[in-house]
A and B are shown apart, each in its own frame.
Chain A
Amino acid sequence: MSEILLDVQHLTHVFRLDKHAVIKAVDDVSFQMKKGEILGLVGESGSGKSTVARCIMNVYKPTGGKILYRDIDIGDKAQLRKHRKMLESLRQIIFQDSTSSLNQRMTVADIIAEPMSIHRMRPARGSLRAEAEFQLSYVGMDASYLDKYPTELSGGQRQRVAIARALSMEPELLVADEPIASLDVSIQAQIINLLRHCNREHGCSILFIAHDLSMVEYLCDRVGVMYRGRLVEIAPTAELYANPRHPYTKALLSAIPIPDPIAERSRKRIDFDEVSFDRDGVLTRIAADHFVLMQEEV
């Protein structure tokens, strides 16, 4: 459990809109992920969660900082080239919008088998089709879906196909970029159970990005909170939910509805004052595994 799989150090990513305007999507974010861990990343829209995910997947080239995957610097061209094949099969990503992450003109069987055919892997179960059928049954769908097109499936089924595609490579790190955001609640639970199962039974580490705080609490071992491109707090789930320290985290947690009408009525929402947000703090350790962004004490 203690082996460090992913080490993100001072990651910064800037989007250049035109000559004058730049957007700092991710600003000096550092965290580590241990092997076999589920790390949640929460925050409001536009807080830079997806950008972090895409930097980790080498989709974006970080403007600054380093990302080490098993001591391989994935921002470094030479090291990347050397380990490219390994990285491409061990890291997989699931996108939020399953409609656009699956090619409408490919059948389910082709979609699931795509990574295997790219890497020219010898399928363990005879043919690529058999492999696709197995992965599909793993996510709870039967073989009759193999020849369907994504447009013929429901949103939950599409998302499961996307997960089956990612799992077909038996990844070590699964980056799930809001995989449940566009699904209804019962399907969300199925997907969450599926991810949990992958983690428990197959030891796959998951970076779980979401804005649904109760799902994150249920699934994740540790949670990081992002706000305006900064990581404001990161701690083990129980610790964070019981003892939030950063004002933004407090505000965020106070927004979780309580499934008890009497308690819900007395729930007080804490408003976070955007003006008071201090970008220039330093992630400071306040408990064993609990870090909060705060002003350095002189």
Chain B
Amino acid sequence: MTEKELFTVVGIRPEPPAPKKKVKRLKGFPWISGILLALILLCCLFAELLMTKEPGYLDLQNFNVAPNGEFLFGTDTLGRDIFSGIWYGGRISLTIGFLATLISTLIAVVYGSVSGIAPGWLDALMMRFTEIFLSIPGLLMVLFLQAILGQANVLSLSVVIGVTGWASIAKVVRTEVRQIRNSEYVVASKCMGGKFPHILRKHLAPNFIASIMFMVVMNVRGAIGSESTLSFMGMGLPLEIISWGSMLSLSEKALLTDSWWIIIIPGAFLVTLLMCLTNIGNYLRKSANRKESNL
């Protein structure tokens, strides 16, 4: 007799083997946005292979040149090649976007979970604080913090955008944790001896990740947008650090000289990227809501 036979319970009806389930994923995925986003990401990642010129080189003989065979997207008022700058600067923009989002998501998950499992009064205190935080305009806070930190660079800008953008994610995390924390599987896990990190990782996080995914993607979008806004206003990255924002900051001069390519090209890339992220975020939000359940 094998071990299996030894342990069989008399009277139990064997279950018929479960039919293999069909995997049906990515339904309604915005393919065009996905492919465009992947393309932009890849091009920025391998910018060195694509660049025809040194992106920071000031070619003073060829400034304000319209797009042509040599300068595919033209040059800006300082004589820098825009085609090379787009890929090279996209890297900076995306880095800031992802780094800032990473920082704010991390803060939001920790803050939200703590608030979610905290006793009522502490939870109320923490949530009122986030509301006060949310009521201050984000851009104002970013400007303020950046002024304290001094001259902006990639890291400081990411940190500043990151620490100002966590509040709304934290609220969602907190609500989800509140709902789950008293469910029986969390109680069961506690009975088995599961500690807080285990419960957060195994039970809480998988349940709120779907609902914050949309906000996280939107946060990337917001961070890239903030960087551009700041740079455009001349308070973000300095001109010599190439990013899509700092490229756009030349546009006021470009307007005077009728050089449309300086505004349109980086702007078009920015808008395309933000739109792709929005579409993917929307898809994630829908699929989180569609969460199948036959209970």
Give the interface of A toward B (CB within 8 A). 57-59, 84-85, 88-89, 91-93, 95, 97, 99-106, 114-115, 118-119, 134, 137-142, 144-145, 148, 151-152, 157, 165, 169, 189-190, 193-194, 197
Instruction: Give A100 to B20 CA distance when docked, in angstroms.
Output: 25
B24 at the interface (CB under 8 A from A): no
A15 to chain B, nearest CB (A): 14
In chain B between 1 and 54, which residues have their CB closer than 8 angstroms to a CB of chain A?
A: 3-4, 7-15, 17-18, 20-21
B185 at the interface (CB under 8 A from A): yes
B12/A194 in contact, CB under 8 A:
yes
B295/A138 in contact, CB under 8 A:
no
Q: Beyond A101-B184, A138-B7, A193-B11, is A151–B292 a contact (Cβ under 8 Å)? A: yes
A100/B191 in contact, CB under 8 A:
no
A134/B185 in contact, CB under 8 A:
no
B191/A93 in contact, CB under 8 A:
yes
Q: Beyond A93-B191, A102-B185, is A114–B13 a contact (Cβ under 8 Å)? A: no
Q: Beyond A88-B193, A157-B15, is A93–B9 a contact (Cβ under 8 Å)? A: no
Residue numbers in B under 8 Å from A197 (CB-CB): 9-10
Binds A, one of B143-151, B200-208, B271-279: B200-208
B135 at the interface (CB under 8 A from A): no
Of the A-B pairs whose beta carbons lie under 8 Å apart in the complex, a sample of 22, sorted by A's number, is A85-B193, A89-B192, A95-B187, A95-B188, A100-B184, A101-B185, A103-B202, A103-B203, A103-B206, A114-B192, A118-B189, A118-B194, A119-B192, A134-B3, A137-B8, A142-B17, A148-B18, A151-B292, A152-B294, A157-B15, A189-B11, A194-B9
B289 at the interface (CB under 8 A from A): no
Partner of B191, one of A58, A140, A144: A58
Partner of A103, one of B11, B12, B185: B185
B198 at the interface (CB under 8 A from A): yes
A141/B15 in contact, CB under 8 A:
yes
Q: Give the secondary structure class of B's interface.
A: loop
B68 at the interface (CB under 8 A from A): no
B147 to chain A, nearest CB (A): 44
B190 at the interface (CB under 8 A from A): yes
The chain B residue sitting closest to A152, CB to CB, is B21
B257 at the interface (CB under 8 A from A): no
Give the interface of B toward A (CB within 8 A). 3-4, 7-15, 17-18, 20-21, 183-185, 187-194, 198, 202-203, 206-207, 292-295
Residue numbers in A under 8 Å from B4 (CB-CB): 134, 137
Instruction: Give A103 to B181 CA distance when docked, in angstroms.
Output: 12
B184/A95 in contact, CB under 8 A:
yes
Partner of A104, one of B8, B194, B293: B293
A142/B15 in contact, CB under 8 A:
yes
Instruction: Give A189 to B13 CA distance when docked, in angstroms.
Output: 11
The chain A residue sitting closest to B16, CB to CB, is A142
Q: Beyond A95-B184, A151-B294, is A169–B15 a contact (Cβ under 8 Å)? A: no
The chain A residue sitting closest to B294, CB to CB, is A151
Partner of A140, one of B9, B190, B206, B293: B9
Instruction: Give A88 to B192 CA distance when docked, in angstroms.
Output: 5
Instruction: Give A91 to B193 CA distance when docked, in angstroms.
Output: 10
B193/A118 in contact, CB under 8 A:
yes
Instruction: Give A127 to B150 CA distance when docked, in angstroms.
Output: 55
A163 to chain B, nearest CB (A): 11
The chain A residue sitting closest to B12, CB to CB, is A140
B194 to chain A, nearest CB (A): 5
Residue numbers in A under 8 Å from B185 (CB-CB): 100-103
A138/B9 in contact, CB under 8 A:
yes
B295/A59 in contact, CB under 8 A:
no
The chain A residue sitting closest to B180, CB to CB, is A103
Q: Beyond A101-B184, A105-B206, A144-B18, is A151–B295 a contact (Cβ under 8 Å)? A: yes
The chain B residue sitting closest to A119, CB to CB, is B193
